[in-house]
Each structure stands twice: as C-alpha cells, then as structure tokens.
Structure 1
Amino acid sequence: MTVQEVPNPQQTSGNWVTDSAEILKPETEAQLNQMINRLENKNGAEIAVVTVPDTKPAASPKAFATELFNYWHIGKKGRDNGVLFLISKGDRRVEIETGYGVEAILPDAKVGNIIDTEIIPRFKQSNYDDGTLAGTRLIVVTLEPSLDKELQTNPSPSPSRQTLVKTSITNNKQIDSLPSWLPILLTVSSPIWLPILLILMITSCTSIGGGSFGGSDSGGGGSFDSGGGGSFGGGDSGGGGAGGSW
C-alpha cells in the first residue's frame, strides 16, 4: 500500500483514524477519535492513528511513516505538534512518528517505552484494540497532562452520539450562515409572501455546504502548503519517534 492510497481521515470523516487493515472495532475508533478531539481542543496537537495491511513498496515501515506524516502534514503549521501512530499488520510493526514541536515532550526514549510497555505486549496477543487505545491514551496525556483525570472519568461517546454531535455542529453553522436579509424580509413582508420566503430559506441552507472542518492554522479549509490532499494543520515530521515489532 502506498502513502497516496491511504485514506486521509480528516477528508473522509473529519476524524483522526484510518483502519485500512480492518483490525479495530468501531467503538475503538470512536474512543480514539474522542480522545484526540479532546487533545486538539485543549492545545492544538494532532494525532493520526493509521492501520495498513503492509507498507510495501516503501523501503521500511519507518520510511512509510515519515512519508505519510509529511504527505498529510499532521500537526499545526509553524508548531509541528503532530504525531502519527502507524500500525502495519503485514509487517507486524508499530511506528510512532513525532513532529518537531513535540520532540521535547515525546523524546524517542519515551515513545519507545510506550511502544514496549503499552502496545507490543497487547499486540502479541492480537489485542489490537486495547493496545491502540492504551498507546494513544498515554501519548495524549503526555502531550496534555490535564486530560489524564478527564479521560479516566468521562467515557467516550458511542459512534451514534458522535454523529449526533457532528450533525448538530453542522446545522448550527448553517443557521449562523443564513443571509442577513431574510429576518428583515420576514418582519416586513405580508403573510402571502411567507411561503416563498420559507422556500428561499430552505434553499439557502441547502446551498451552504458544511463539508469542511477546522483544525488548521494555515487558512481556509485546512489545506497545507505542499504534498497530497490532506486537511491536517500543516505540520512537518521531525524524523523522531520509535518503532517496535510483535
């Protein structure tokens, strides 16, 4: 699988997880997305969790991870506060790649310890869900210690709950974007015009697309300065991190 073939979760769903290897349960993905959303809301850091069947034809899983990180530009532009958690099922390999801006908080030795103690032992038992959750959680609380207690006490919502929240946010954005002249016309118009104005309002709501999502310092639509089609914030890899096999 090439880097270009990996679906960008920010583009496909506005989330942070791509499970191309199909090793994670839907509820696991929901928990991961919720944890990373809380982190991003707190301090702007971004984590992409990606599973792939294998990393061929890349020279190595590490090379694949670095290329994917820079292709998507994970992290905020100018802050480089991104992390890529890559799981290659075929290679039986984990790679965690870090941006320049988090290397002081997540040095290579720390990342290696997370892999060795939290992830690999669970993966050796084919427990990909718990291993991925445990590793991601430790990365999150390392980057934002204030979330430690919150993640212990507040369970992640179910996928249906996430969908409801996303729909609500989109609808609110659409309401906020209604043309300013509609309320005025509604006030001054006679009742005979109300059905027509109602149709105009519905048409206006429909035409206001809600498909873009935030999380970028680099301007409209979350685009970045180079590379291929991502909507992360424009960060770059520092080449740091660690890997491990199971």
Structure 2
Amino acid sequence: MGGKKGSVFFIISMLFVLMCGRAEAAAPDPIPRASGDIYVQDIANVLNPNEEAQLMQLGRTIEDQTSNQIAVLTVSSIGEEAIEDYANRAYREYGLGTKEEDNGVLLIVAMKEKKIRIEVGYGLEGIIPDGRAGRIIDENAVPSLQADQPNIAVMKTYGAIANAVSGEESKKGGTPAQENGSSIPSWLLILIAVAFIILDFMFFGGTLTFFLLSIFSRGGGGPRGGGGGSSGGGGASRGW
C-alpha cells in the first residue's frame, strides 16, 4: 500500500511540475520599460543616434501641435505571442495618447520573428483605419525590411504616420485652425518639417537635422511619457 501511495504521489507531483512549466512557458514576454522620451524605444538597436534624435524631435513636434503621440518600439523577439497581442499590451503599457482622446499610434518591429505592426488608438481610427495602416507598411516598411535595412523602414514608416496624423482632419473636432486668415496652419508646418527630415535623411544622412537639433534641443525639459491612453483600436500587421 505504501508503495502504491508513493507512486500516486510521485505521478501527481510530476503532473504539477509539468503544468507549472507549461504555464511559465506560455507566459508572455514582459514589455520593455520605457526609457527617455516615449517616442522612440529602440530596444533592438535598429537606429543610430542621429536617426533616433530625428524621430524624437518629430514626435515632440507632432505632440506639441496635435496632442497625438507616435511611438516606435523595436525588440529582438516577442516570443510565442502574436504581434497583435504584444502590440496591444505595449500600447496599454506606454499609455499612448491622452486619456480623453486615446490618440496614439505604436509602430512595433520584432526582428527575430520578422513581424511589423502599426497599432492605432481608438481616437485615430478615423485617420488611420486598418486599410491605410496596411498600405503605410507595404509602401514604406516592407521593401526596406526585405533589403535588410530596418532603420530605413522605421524612419520612412514613422514619417508616413506623422504625415497622416498631422493633417487638418486629425485635429480635435475635425476643423482646421485659422487665425486672421494669414498665419500658416500648424499642420502645414508639421508637413514641411516631416518632408525636410525625410529628404535630409535620404540625401545627406540626416546631417542637417542633427545639427539643428543640437542647437535647438538643449533646453528641452524632462523626458516625455505616455499621456494616458488605454487601448489600441485597430491597425495592421505584416511579415517580411
């Protein structure tokens, strides 16, 4: 009897150990803690300092003018989790956009799995619906990723997202800001800034942008975090 009880106890113990092991294996990878400005979390070291500085400045400009937040997260791996689930968790973790508007966008690149996704907050679904998010990835990211140029893919895709969320239609209430009929609309200034950064990066390696940032960003204030958004509302994913 004692031998049988011992065998039963051993079997139950082994099943318990196996169940715990499976539970641990199934647990999703933790989201990397945000460091510095929320706009760029380059955990996989895809970007060089020049490129990172360009995106930081662009992200600040977009938020200052529209309150929309764009963030990019690059990771070496997302484990066994689907990129859609990982991106949604990351969006919530970083609290992109404001609590009231939930107007954030997260670009995420998983290098090992060769997956990329644009996660869009509910407040910007009208500006970047799923179809548009897919086209942005197809046109700006996939060709560079397939050419083993993930930094170019991130730069172009971030710029395309910035163009999308800086237009008149993305402003609260959907009405363009006009002052005395003579001032330049803020959305146009943002488009000019985006075009300058992209052209500078394409033809001069970002030298001009980096020089200007070194002059104007010395006073800058502390790091900026997410504004409190709670959920992604849609988006698109691709492999390469």
Tell me, yes or no, whether TM beats 0.5: yes
Write the distance in 2 (CA, Å) between the matches of 1:150 and 1:53: 30
SS in structure 1 at match of 2:116? strand
Preserved CA contact (<8 Å) 2:43 2:73: yes
What per-residue deviation string (whole Å, max 9, x for no partner) do you get for residues 90-115 of structure 1? 11000110000000000000000011
The runs of 5 or more residues in structure 1 that have no matched partner are 171-211, 215-230
Matched, 1:157 2:209: yes
Structure 1: which amino acid aligns with 2:36?
Answer: S
2:120 to 91, 98, 117: 98
**Normalized against structure 2, the TM-score is what?**
0.70
Matched, 1:7 2:41: no
Partner of 1:175: none
Write the distance in 1 (CA, Å) between the matches of 2:29 and 2:209: 33
Write the distance in 1 (CA, Å) between the matches of 2:45 and 2:118: 19
Shift of 1:238: 3.4
1:52-201 to 2 correspondence within 5 Å? Answer: 52-57=75-80, 59-145=81-167, 146=188, 147-153=190-196, 157-158=209-210, 162=213, 165-170=216-221
Preserved CA contact (<8 Å) 1:19 1:50: yes
**Normalized against structure 1, the TM-score is what?**
0.68
| Structure 1 residues 152 and 56: CA distance shift in structure 2, 3 A | same
Q: Which of the two has higher C-alpha Rg? A: 2
Preserved CA contact (<8 Å) 1:22 1:51: yes
Give the root-mean-square deviation of aligned CA atoms: 2.1
Matched, 1:42 2:65: yes
Shift of 1:26: 1.5
Shift of 1:62: 1.1
Preserved CA contact (<8 Å) 2:38 2:226: no
1:235 to 219, 222, 229: 229
Matched, 1:28 2:28: no
The runs of 5 or more residues in structure 2 that have no matched partner are 1-27, 168-187, 201-207
Preserved CA contact (<8 Å) 2:91 2:232: no
